[in-house]
């Protein structure tokens, strides 16, 4: 079958279905459509698709797991190459390197595969997210504060370049693409058809600390959390969440503030020691719930993630890297944590206060705290209200906002910095050299001329 025969074009009755197949966010663009969709069976199809796009004067977009909130894979004047079938994994016992196709689901598929081999990659929290988009934008995975960005574990990539050639990229060959792949996100000038990833020995015990507070305690609890977070050992992931109380807990569910910490270690004793500092919280007597160290598992955390991140919903989210004096940060984030006007919506803060130095790669912007707010809803008529509310709340946090993480961003709505200036300049040089004709789409932004700048600083 020729590549032409494998394309689904706009005249096909399947076209709309193929365009949005596997797209997680039901809030989809009405004004963007590709010219055709290619569901690649293998790497050769990907290469042939890029050549077909070149011959037909189109750019290329890619879908791995379909979890881009902003639906980056759907753009005008493009061939959309869907990598659904490139989802196999293999493992080399001698090196501990796992090789995996880009559409494998990090939590639901790759992690169980590695668990059977006693290995771990600190992949994403939500099970169905594809490793393709996740790794290219940095990858905020399990215990990122201690074990680094998931992209730091990429040792090599197999890439189809702008000429439709399959090439290997690592520290010694095609180094420029290896550098770019670790952070460029949706402006990477190529299609990754396989990732080679350094895994680590798997932890054997998971301890979970949970403290729940009423919203009136937010200021004190959150300011204290920021103070102690950098002192906690590097095997603990620390997250604060504003969410509606679990079903059945109160007669009428209400929003609460939760401090959670997960120790990924090798014994109960180790977990208890790692989580002990949380018991020093000076307002612990006001906690509605205090669980110092429950035994837990990644399976149960995955289940919780699936409940908080339901399919078949409309989503609106935005995010920021925050830095500042702790009480100022608390004040600036108060609206996002205490006034969210939707039952299913949630706001998170992830501690990154250890601030490990980053290796030389495109990904280059981080700060002591990461904040993201997610609206989860069903009715289209709420789109505008949630968007406006979130933009207002994000504006209140501008005094402590350093920039944003590509993974939770939508630059058609709000543009922020996501990369150090020198890294962004270097990336543009690599793109100009590797993809001079613009075969691959660039960042989808309201104003392409001001990408990588905080909009209020322009």
Interaction site with ligand FAD (CB under 6 A):
24, 61-69, 72-73, 83, 102, 124-126, 129-130, 132-134, 136-137, 139-140, 186, 188, 191-192, 309, 407-408
Smaller CB separation from ligand FAD, 139 or 183 = 139
- Shortest separation between residue 60's beta carbon and ligand FAD, angstroms: 9
- Shortest separation between residue 307's beta carbon and ligand FAD, angstroms: 11
- Shortest separation between residue 169's beta carbon and ligand FAD, angstroms: 12
- Tokens 């074990």 belong to 147
CA torsion sign, 321 to 263 to 227 to 231? negative
Distances (CA, A) of 375 to 249, 343, 416: 22, 9, 20
Segment (H or E) for 170: strand 166-170
Smaller CB separation from ligand FAD, 151 or 221 = 151
CB–CB of 123/134 below 8 Å?
yes
- Shortest separation between residue 76's beta carbon and ligand FAD, angstroms: 14
Distances (CA, A) of 230 to 103, 129, 236, 299: 34, 28, 11, 27
Smaller CB separation from ligand FAD, 64 or 332 = 64
- Shortest separation between residue 137's beta carbon and ligand FAD, angstroms: 6
- Shortest separation between residue 36's beta carbon and ligand FAD, angstroms: 16
CA–CA gap between residue 137 and residue 360 (Å, rounded): 14
CA–CA gap between residue 38 and residue 52 (Å, rounded): 10
CA–CA gap between residue 299 and residue 264 (Å, rounded): 13
CB–CB of 272/376 below 8 Å?
no
Smaller CB separation from ligand FAD, 61 or 199 = 61
Smaller CB separation from ligand FAD, 68 or 423 = 68
Smaller CB separation from ligand FAD, 325 or 378 = 378
CA–CA gap between residue 146 and residue 144 (Å, rounded): 5
């Amino acid at each position: 079958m020729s590549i032409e025969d494998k394309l689904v074009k706009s005249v096909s009755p399947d076209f709309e279905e193929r365009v949005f197949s596997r797209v997680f966010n039901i809030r989809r663009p009405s004004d963007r459509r590709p010219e055709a969709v290619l569901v690649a069976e293998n790497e050769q199809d990907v290469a042939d698709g890029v050549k077909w796009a070149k011959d037909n004067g189109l750019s290329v977009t890619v879908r791995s797991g379909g979890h881009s909130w902003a639906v980056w894979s759907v753009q005008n004047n493009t061939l959309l190459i869907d990598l659904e079938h490139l989802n196999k994994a293999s493992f080399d016992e001698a090196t501990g390197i796992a090789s995996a196709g880009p559409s494998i689901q990090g939590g639901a598929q790759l992690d169980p595969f590695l668990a059977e081999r006693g290995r771990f990659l600190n992949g994403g929290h939500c099970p169905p997210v594809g490793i393709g988009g996740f790794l290219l934008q940095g990858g905020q995975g399990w215990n990122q504060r201690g074990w680094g960005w998931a992209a730091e574990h990429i040792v090599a990539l197999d890439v189809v370049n702008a000429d439709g050639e399959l090439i290997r990229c690592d520290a010694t060959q095609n180094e420029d693409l290896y550098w770019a792949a670790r952070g460029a996100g949706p402006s990477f000038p190529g299609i990754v058809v396989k990732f080679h990833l350094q895994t680590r020995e798997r932890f054997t015990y998971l301890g979970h600390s949970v403290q729940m507070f009423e919203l009136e305690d937010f200021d004190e609890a959150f300011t204290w959390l920021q103070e102690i977070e950098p002192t906690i050992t590097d095997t603990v992931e620390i997250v604060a969440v504003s969410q509606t109380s679990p079903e059945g807990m109160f007669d009428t569910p209400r929003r609460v503030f939760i401090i959670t910490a997960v120790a990924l270690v090798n014994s109960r004793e180790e977990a208890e020691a790692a989580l002990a500092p949380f018991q020093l919280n000076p307002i612990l007597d006001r906690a509605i719930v205090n669980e110092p160290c429950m035994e837990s598992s990644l399976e149960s955390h995955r289940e919780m993630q699936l409940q908080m991140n339901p399919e078949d919903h409309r989503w609106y989210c935005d995010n920021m890297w925050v830095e500042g004096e702790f009480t100022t940060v608390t004040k600036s984030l108060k609206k996002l944590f205490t006034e969210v006007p939707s039952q299913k919506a949630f706001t998170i803060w992830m501690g990154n206060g250890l601030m490990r130095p980053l290796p030389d790669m495109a990904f280059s912007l981080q700060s002591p705290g990461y904040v993201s707010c997610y609206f989860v809803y069903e009715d289209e008529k709420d789109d505008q209200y949630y968007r406006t509310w979130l933009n207002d709340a994000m504006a209140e946090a501008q005094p402590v906002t350093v920039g944003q993480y590509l993974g939770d961003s939508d630059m058609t709505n709000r543009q922020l910095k996501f990369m150090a200036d020198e890294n962004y300049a270097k990336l543009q040089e690599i793109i100009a050299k590797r993809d001079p004709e613009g075969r691959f789409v660039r960042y989808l932004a309201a104003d392409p001329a001001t990408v990588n700048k905080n909009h209020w600083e322009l």
